[in-house]
Amino acid sequence: MYDSGRDGFIDLMELKLMMEKLGAPQTHLGLKNMIKEVDEDFDGRLSFREFLLIFHKAAAGELEEDSGLMALAKLSEIDVAQEGVKGAKDFFEAKVQALSCASKFEAELKAEQDERKQEEEKRRIRQAAFRELKAAFST
C-alpha cells in the first residue's frame, strides 16, 4: 500500500509518508535508524521480509519502547470493541499468516548462517593445508 515506486521495497521517503499517514511522524534521522535496525542486506530500504522482521522483533521484546519501529508495531494492534469480531478475526488471521512467514524467514536465516559457517570452516581448512604445503617447501 505504501510502496509508491511499486518496486517491492519501502524506501526512506515511502517510510516517511507511511509513518505520517499512520499518525507517528519521525525525523529524518529516526527514519534512517528505523531502516538500519532491520535492514539485513544493507541496501537502505525495507523488503517485505525486513518489514515483517519489525513485528517479529516487537513480539520478542527486542525493540526499544520509544523507537519508531515500536511505534509502527503498536499501530498494528487492534481494538475489538471498535473493529468488531469480524475485523478482529481478519486482523488475527493476517497476523497468523505473518507469523508463519516470520517462521519461514527464521528458518531461511538459520540455513544461511549455517551455510556461512560451513564456508568459513572450508576456508580455514584450505588455509591450514596451504600453510602446511608452504612449510614443506620452505624447509
Give the pLDDT score at 58.
Answer: 81
pLDDT, position 125: 95
pLDDT at position 128 = 94
What are the pLDDT digits (tens) for 95-108?
666 656 656 667 77
Spans in the chain with pLDDT lower than 50: 78-80, 83, 85
| The pLDDT of residue 80 | 45
CA nearest neighbour of 11 among 26, 37, 32, 41: 32
What pLDDT, on a 0 to 100 scale, did the predictor assign at position 55? 79
Helical residues (DSSP H) of the chain, grouped into ranges: 12-21, 28-38, 48-59, 68-74, 80-138
Burial 72-93 (b: 16+ CB within 10 A, else e): bbeeeeeeeeeeeeeeeeeeee
